[in-house]
Structure 1
């Protein structure tokens, strides 16, 4: 019996020692080594390009360290697109590439762009790649679009684009036209050797509901190798018939139990007399009253009622001129009647 107990005790001791050894064998190994990113050529020159050319290049790199290299982010600047490597985790000695697509601009000159590569390399967390190109063109023009901004819908307007050809005597432009009848185009050579493309807005030709904006395109063909086809976007924004001053009414430091008023001016941008036909408020504690009407600049009084509770009092006042209307946001802050009043202010008071 004593012999059996001794055998069992020995087995227990062996099991305990074995489990301890096993636990020590399963302990996680301490990470060692450092990743290192090295690019074969961090700068690439595309040489001479034509306007709007699209070219690609692959930047090769290697993990020369002795730990896993991780590419966390690739960021490009305007004018080029960078594609992160298909494999973002590279073992020591492993290589990959980052592909860059560059879109050349339309202006002549030297272009330089940067691409930023972020990794877990402790000595170089941010790597900078550089691409360069020389844009060569036989034709330049400025501006690259036409904008008519804040013009009356019934008033004619003109704008010009100037072209500078490498060989003015040989330069030709044909098939000049606009996509819409409310634009007319003309073309001439100036005394200083440039070419002027004049675009005119013809209000009588506007037939569609423009809703304040119109867009179109002027097109032409040239004998230029750089720009055989010209497409000039045209953006038109019409002036509103009426304006409100101030456009947003801010009333702060008001005192509860006290009526407060401010005036807003509703004017015709054409300088002609008109009638305000109605005024409305979205808040029962905010009233609107027409105090001057039938002129080129009329006056609407905004009233914050004395019964308005303390706190924020917001409303939208709608001023109607027949079928047209203007919205005036009103923002008021009303303090407790027992509090010390502060000066009343209105943003844009005139």
Structure 2
């Protein structure tokens, strides 16, 4: 016959097992939303702008709320691009290493706390080796906003301290619109200096650019040095948000979101057209000529459960090419009376 104490122990063990299983499941559902389970910056230069965007996508029907993002070391920092992700919506956690104050091997973790639709805490390991012999000024090649068709140029200075014969032997870039030239400016006393001249071609397509170019060197231990390159090639008229999230929708239940069109000079909207024939959207057309237009976009979702998307074409007075943008969301099975 079991004693009271053995019964209590068995009951406590069962409870602990159930809690452990529940906790593990809770982490699992959240972990599936992230594209990586670790972040490795590799070998990076001192003073470089070392950033990584950890992608997250809400693959569930309910809204996801990120309540907190933190790191476990002062050598790193992180913040979310947005705290709320509707069903099907994407975002990212921006993770950055402090390469100015810290050197050599650094290990950390980014911890993301989610409190809806249920609680989960995800820990993503971070590792990096910050070189002390190579310094970039500034820490990245950032072109900023570039008007489409114009092209741009920027320069980053590289300073090396160590061997007299250290040299850049090649440059690798995946973007055909970007060219990079390394110009040696000084050498002597164990120090070598270069100017890296980066040029963005006039035919660079619209959209953001974010990539790492790799500088190949004759260093036996660290053969490459990465450099972050960023730019945003923009039209004379931009749309915010670029992709409109409609979230979870109920058939027949009206929902309104705002879309902002911003121009470099005042403009007039002639018409807005939808690609589909659902006639689910209503847009209040502005009648004025101004540099910023806020368009209330109202949808009455059709009875088509599942993923739903629409493409819009905006015709601007005096502008040869129209502007397009997309909206997406998910329609539930429930229908209103």
TM-score by length of structure 2 reads 0.39
Answer 1 or 2: which has greater strand percent: 2
Q: Which has the higher contact order (CA 8 A, sep 6+)?
A: 2
Larger gyration radius, structure 1 or structure 2: 1
What TM-score does the superposition give when structure 1 sets the normalisation length? 0.38
